[in-house]
Amino acid sequence: MNLFIPGKRPRLSVYIFTRNSADRIERLVSEAYEFADEVVVGVDNASRDDTFERVHSFVDVAFRFKLQLPGQLAPARLAVFDYATGDWILTLDDDESMEPTFDSLRDELMSDPQVTHHYLARKYIANLSPPEYVRVAPWYPDWQLKLFRNDRSLVWSPPRPHMGYYVQGLGNFEARTSILHFEPLWCSPEKRAIKQAEYRRAGSDGVIEKSLEVIEGLPLELVTIRPPPRPAQQRPTNKVHAEIRELKPAMLPGWKAEILAIDMVESVAAGASVVARVQVRNVGAMAWTRHVGHWPFLNLAFQLLDQKEQLLQRDGHRFPMPGHVAPGEQVLFIAPFTAPTKPGDYWLEWDLVSELECWFHECGSQIKRTPLKVLNASDSSRE
């Protein structure tokens, strides 16, 4: 984790993971060094050309990887955290470039200590003489989350086609600069058809493929592109990892919690109010953050079971994350709820949950049960 230090110019690592890009990778790397402090390139071992050999001496870090599941790019996205040393990371595809306006904005974008990530508009380049982009949805603005803090505990990439990155914390939509996407010019109709087929085989719902269908007659607007860069130069800090890493997809984020203590009454009148105090430690790889309108939506929760441990109520009780909890830190939840209206012996089964994603026990956490005896009002008054 790289923490922001006031007064220090933030360092930017550009990350490119690629295959079959020998004809353009040197140009992209040379352009990246116009605004980056470090360039990291990962090359898919499935490449049929000499991409790795062409580029490895011109970047700060080069490595090769093999995808355990072809087309499953999430582990390649997350591999950058093993190599990048900058305060922030900008990821670029091998058919992309940054609009020149990014250079004067980069320090400003990376200097707000409250912001953890930026969405950048993407422009699909339709012509080069003159340079023009498609100015209509879904080709523009096509917001992409590609600039984020170099903090592995905040970042996740779901194992589904074209899901990109999820980043915890406060994000910003930056419209003053854009990613330039040259795929419409550089990808032949035959290669485009192959890409669409690969996305469908990997489980895409078809929405992403729509952006690959650049149609004649769409509204266009002029755009400024970078002039041809200087030839790539060998880097004195060059590190080449020649071994081939096999990258396995993780199906769920590294959520994991240890419930340390639950302070609550053991018996209560039917329908009475109860307040539990639950102390929890983050023992996973991911930080926990309070919900700010996007992923993740983390809550403490319990499910209600009867004396025979049969589930009575699955999703009725949620208690929001109080704030930021880094791996290794503890947090105290105050959890008010209403006791069941029917007298009897119950179990409360406690766990944390990432809404619409998973329960923490699915990631390896241990659930914790506490007993609760619910009494008739007359019985409780005699105790």
Q: DSSP assignment of 97-109, as one string?
A: EE-TTHHHHHHHH
Q: How large is the C-alpha radius of gyration of the chain?
A: 25
pLDDT band at 71 (very low <50, low <70, confident <90, very high): confident
Statement: residue 355 has pLDDT above 70: yes
234 and 310 belong to one structural domain:
no
Check whether residue 16 and residue 67 sit in a common domain.
yes
Do 2 and 150 meet the contact criterion of CB atoms below 8 Å apart?
yes
Are 240 and 267 contained in the same domain? no
154 with 238, same domain: the answer is yes
Query: Does 44 reside within a domain?
Result: yes
Q: Which pLDDT does position 234 carry in this prediction?
A: 83
With a CB cutoff of 8 Å and minimum separation 6, the contacts of 326 are 153, 282, 287
d(CA 104, CA 34): 11
Q: Which residue has the tokens 């939506």?
A: 297
Task: Look at residues 202, 224, 247 and tell me which one is the last residue of a structural domain.
Answer: 247
pLDDT > 80? residue 319: yes
Q: For residue 372, is it within any domain?
A: yes
Quick one: 159 and 262 in the same domain? Answer: no
379 falls in which pLDDT band (50, 70, 90)?
low
pLDDT digits (tens, 9 = 90+) for 95-151: 999 999 999 999 999 999 999 999 999 999 999 999 999 999 999 999 999 999 999
Domain for residue 344, yes or no?
yes
Q: Are 201 and 23 in contact (CB under 8 A)?
A: no
Residue 196 lies in a domain: yes
Q: Do residues 48 and 153 both lie within one domain?
A: yes
- The answer as to whether 3 is a domain residue is no
**For residues 289 and 295, what is the distance between their CA atoms, to the nearest angstrom?**
10
Per-residue pLDDT band at 215 (split at 50, 70, 90): low
Check whether residue 72 and residue 124 sit in a common domain: yes
CATH number of the domain where residue 318 is located:
2.60.40.10
Q: Which domain holds residue 332?
A: 257-382
Other Cβ atoms closer than 10 A to 303: 20
CA separation, residue 336 to residues 60, 185, 346, 364, 382 (Å): 53, 59, 17, 26, 24
**What tokens does 84 get?**
């990048």
Answer with the one of 247, 269, 284 that is the final residue of a domain: 247
Res. 44: pLDDT tops 50: yes
- Are residues 58 and 31 part of one domain? yes
User: What are the C-alpha distances in Å from 265 to residues 120, 367, 371?
Assistant: 51, 19, 9
Note whether residue 332 is domain-resident: yes
| pLDDT tens-place string over residues 189-198 | 666 665 556 5
Predicted confidence band at 316 (pLDDT cuts at 50, 70, 90)?
Answer: confident
CA distances from 359 to 141, 261, 339, 353 (A): 34, 19, 23, 4
Looking at residue 1, its pLDDT comes to 46
Domain end, chosen from 247, 279, 307, is at 247
Give me the chain's average pLDDT, please: 90
pLDDT over 80 (residue 204): no
Are both 170 and 318 inside the same structural domain? no
246 backbone dihedrals φ, ψ, rounded to 5°: -90, 120
Beta carbons of 151 and 2 less than 8 angstroms apart: yes
Is there a single domain that holds both residue 239 and residue 267?
no
State yes or no: pLDDT of 199 exceeds 80.
Answer: no
- For 254-285, the pLDDT digits (tens) are 999 999 999 999 999 999 999 999 999 999 99
Contact indicator for 134, 219 with CB cutoff of 8 Å = yes
CB-based contacts of 129, cutoff 8 Å, min separation 6:
none
Contact status, residue 172 vs residue 118, Cβ threshold 8 Å: yes
Number of domains in the chain: 2
Residue 166 covered by a domain: yes
Residue 227 lies in a domain: yes
* DSSP secondary structure, 152-198, as one string: GGGEE--SSTT---EE-SEEEEEEEEEEEE-HHHHS-HHHHHHHHHH
For the ranges 70-74, 226-230, 287-291, 378-382, which has the lowest average pLDDT?
378-382
| Co-location of 201 and 339 in the same domain | no
Q: Is the CB of residue 7 less than 8 Å from the CB of residue 83?
A: no
Is this model's pTM higher than 0.85 or not? yes
120: domain CATH number is 3.90.550
User: Do 120 and 264 fall into the same domain?
Assistant: no
